[in-house]
Amino acid sequence: MKILVIGGGGREHALVWKLAQSPRATQMWCAPGNAGIAGETVAANGSAVECVGIGAEDLPALLEFAREQQIDLTVVGPDNPLAMGIVDQFQAAGLRVWGPTQQAAQFESSKIFSQEFMDRNGVPTMKSASFTAAAEARAFAASLDGKCAVKADGLALGKGVLICNTPDEANAAIDQIMTDRAFGDAGSSVLIQELITGMEVSLHALCDGKTAKLFPSSQDHKRALDGDQGLNTGGMGTYSPVPFLSDEKLNEIANAVLEPWLAGCAAEGIDFRGMLYPGIMLTDDGLKVLEFNARFGDPETQVYLPRLENDLVDLFEASIDGTLDQHELRWSDQSAVCVVIASGGYPGSYEKGKVITGIADADALPGVKVFHAGTKLDDGNVVNAGGRVLGVTALGQGLQAARDLAYEAAAKIQFEGAFTRSDIAAKAL
Ligand code: GLY
């Protein structure tokens, strides 16, 4: 089977690495990929995974490439091509593709669509309202005493969410998004949600239009610095499973979210085939869904796939074909921890092109896999090319062992300005 993976971050490296282990994979490409993906080989025949210089949002070029190469299965990693309708376009061209359609991807691409769906269908969530007029938005924010999240409706490269604690902050956020259009057209309407406090957990469920298969629990670390301080990032590290959530509790939480979500999809004619990734908050007042994503989390994927024992090609095919009910997900009982190594200055500006050393030494430790996120090859050297550079993932018998190993491996990797958080998974121990 010829497989094309779209995207070029840590999530896509993990997807390529796992798909390449399938006995069914014979040839693989990744567009655009990265230095780590270019080093992977297909297990069945040792052929190299080829990185293709096509951006994840260049839909016409991706379509042409998939047609020319007669790709049997295309797997879409990031949210933007999904929001742009890549799945609909590939399907219309008779190509097999994994991911939600443009309509189903609205769970992520429109925060207002998602929030109104939750309100209509009894998915537990926060008090919220959406606005196209700034004055009304300000009045609603004032009714929450300014303690709210102001979100640009559309996709804004993960940046369109402003957290406010006072009416002045809320008014400034509304102006920034709606009047100044800091996030472009994504801010033509805003969603305002009450702020809630609690423990944030990531859920993932693989869906086929009628069945949702729950993944184990995991937790991301969104802030740049230890102790959940500093600016929000794309995610500085993850671990799985989350020990304070028993399987029973996880199922209870999942049912409270997935049952009304599936029933709502059926009632409203939404055929979601892909990965549903709800971000949830466990509060004193019960669980609340903060948001839905319509793809694998990054870096959650980097801890899930090393623990997954199924053939991922089989699961993606079942998700496309509506036969997930015939599959049981099987997971290693080992824990996984992923520590992200970032470029100095991230999530602000940072320098690129710094030579990275020690990746092979880290990868050589048993139980360790270094996933590349923002890297490229430059004159034979691997250099940093993004804010999140590497995701050092370790498996261990128990979280402590996995965490110790991940940090031991990360310490072997160096480049100028590199930094990690030192407390990934610490709050679980
Ligand atoms: N883990 C954060 C994200 O994937 O959006």
Neighbours of 41 (CB within 10 A): 12
pLDDT of residue 157: 65
Closest-CA residue, ligand 1 atom 5, reads 297
Q: Using alpha carbons only, what angle is made at residue 309 by residues 305 and 310, rounded to the nearest 5 degrees?
A: 95
Average pLDDT over residues 256-277: 97
What number is the average pLDDT over the span 376-403? 97
Number of H helices, E strands in the chain: 13, 23
| 17: nearest Cα among 41, 45, 35, 34 | 41
Centre of ligand 1 from the C-alpha of residue 28, in Å: 25
How far are the Cα atoms of 87, 217, 315 from residue 101, in angstroms, in the given order? Answer: 5, 26, 18
CB 298 near ligand 1, within 6 Å: yes
Checking if the pLDDT of 158 tops 70, the result is no
Q: pLDDT (tens digit, 9 = 90+) per residue, 280-322?
A: 999 999 999 999 999 999 999 999 999 999 999 999 999 999 9
Choose which residue among 111, 215, 277, 371 to substitute to test ligand 1 binding: the one with the highest number of ligand atoms within 8 A of its C-beta. Answer: 277
Q: Which ligand 1 atom is at minimum distance from the Cα of 297? A: 4
Distance between Cα 299 and ligand 1 center (Å): 7
| Coil/strand/helix, residue 373 | coil
**Angle 312-321/10-19 helices, nearest 10 degrees?**
100
Whole-number pLDDT of residue 388 = 97
What number does the ligand 1 atom closest to the CA of 300 have? 1
Residue 298 CA: which ligand 1 atom is closest?
4
pLDDT tens track for 352-387: 999 999 999 999 999 999 999 999 999 999 999 999
Q: DSSP for 334-369?
A: SEEEEEEEE-TTTTS-----PBPB-HHHHHTSTTEE
Q: Does residue 235 have its Cβ closer than 6 Å to ligand 1?
A: yes
The rounded Å distance from CA 236 to ligand 1 centre is 10
**Identity of the amino acid at 29:** W
Which of 180, 184, 241, 243 is CA-nearest to residue 216?
Answer: 241
Mutate which of 15, 159, 220, 305 for ligand 1 pocket (most atoms within 8 A of beta carbon): 220
Residue with CA at minimum distance from ligand 1 atom 3: 297
> Residue 414 pLDDT more than 70?
yes
Region 236-242 average pLDDT? 97
What is the tens place of the pLDDT at every residue in 174-220?
999 999 998 888 888 999 999 999 998 999 999 999 999 999 999 99
Token pair for residue 387? Answer: 């804010």
Q: Kindly report whether the peptide bond that precedes residue 32 is cis, defined as omega within 30 degrees of 0.
A: yes
Instruction: Determine if ligand 1 sits within 6 Å of the CB of residue 79.
Output: no
Q: In the predicted model, what is the mean pLDDT of the chain?
A: 96
- Tokens matching residue 97: 């593709």
User: According to the model, what pLDDT value does residue 273 have?
Assistant: 98
| Cα distances (Å, whole numbers) of residue 406 to 1, 151, 278, 370, 428 | 33, 34, 26, 9, 15
Average pLDDT value for residue range 373-402: 97
If pLDDT is split at 50, 70 and 90, which confidence band does 137 have? very high
Indicate whether residue 241 lines ligand 1 (CB < 6 A).
no
pLDDT tens track for 23-61 = 999 999 999 999 999 999 999 999 999 999 999 999 999
Nearest partner of 8 among 50, 55, 43, 40, judged by Cα = 55
> Ligand 1 centre from 50 Cα, in Å?
26
Reply yes or no on whether the pLDDT at 12 is more than 90: yes
What pLDDT does 24 receive? 98
Q: Given this model, what pLDDT does residue 246 score?
A: 87
pTM exceeds cut of 0.75: yes
What b/e sequence results for 356-376 when a residue is b if at least 16 CB atoms lie within 10 Å of its CB, and e otherwise? beebeebbebebbbbbbbbbb
